[in-house]
Chain A
Amino acid sequence: EAQVTQNPRYLITVTGKKLTVTCSQNMNHEYMSWYRQDPGLGLRQIYYSMNVEVTDKGDVPEGYKVSRKEKRNFPLILESPSPNQTSLYFCASRLTGQGIGTNEKLFFGSGTQLSVL
């Protein structure tokens, strides 16, 4: 089944303790992206990746890192989490290869609810 898998679904941690949220897709998609969702602010893009070893900052990259060593995986790393990073996080992916238009559907993971105490 085609899907984007995020883990964990829920995470409670303390300030300063490094954590990683994993994201994996099984559709051979080039494009992957991380968003955070906060009430009243919609989805804000953290980082995105157009392909392996190609990553770019989104609107709110501060305090986050990503890597794209393999096509299927796009982990989100919080080196020193702070309470203002408490949020609902979504990973997404889509096709953007040569010859593919920009109108390809975005596939979303189920979300990770992160609480930083």
Chain B
Amino acid sequence: AQSVTQLDSHVSVSEGTPVLLRCNYSSSYSPSLFWYVQHPNKGLQLLLKYTSAATLVKGINGFEAEFKKSETSFHLTKPSAHMSDAAEYFCVVSDWGSQGNLIFGKGTKLSVKP
């Protein structure tokens, strides 16, 4: 069965410093992995997705994620945080064993201090 664990419920960084949001997954098959972002009082927006074409995936707004099969991880990073990055981030996994059903992590709330 597939599952996804976001290791931090809340991350706080200062503006201009790097961001690291951690995600570990469990999947019986070659997974598809996504990061979604939800800004306050808004819907969910796709940040990036892993499609097995490349292990380092670039997304919108300067975010990246690296797929590491040996560590079953798909951590989200950004070199320099901006105030507008403050939001909740969700790691999501999908695989053929679940017929493409998607499983969400519990979310990581990112705070950015000036």
Contact = CB atoms under 8 A, between A and B. Distances in A.
Interface stretch (A20-28, A75-83, A97-105): A97-105
Interface residues of B, number: 26
A2 interface: no
A49 to B, nearest CB: 10
A110 B43 contact: yes
Interface of A: 31, 33, 35, 40-45, 48, 50, 56, 90, 92, 94, 96, 101-106, 108-111
B85 to A, nearest CB: 19
Contacts of B107: 42-43
B46 interface: yes
A42 B90 contact: yes
B94 to A, nearest CB: 4
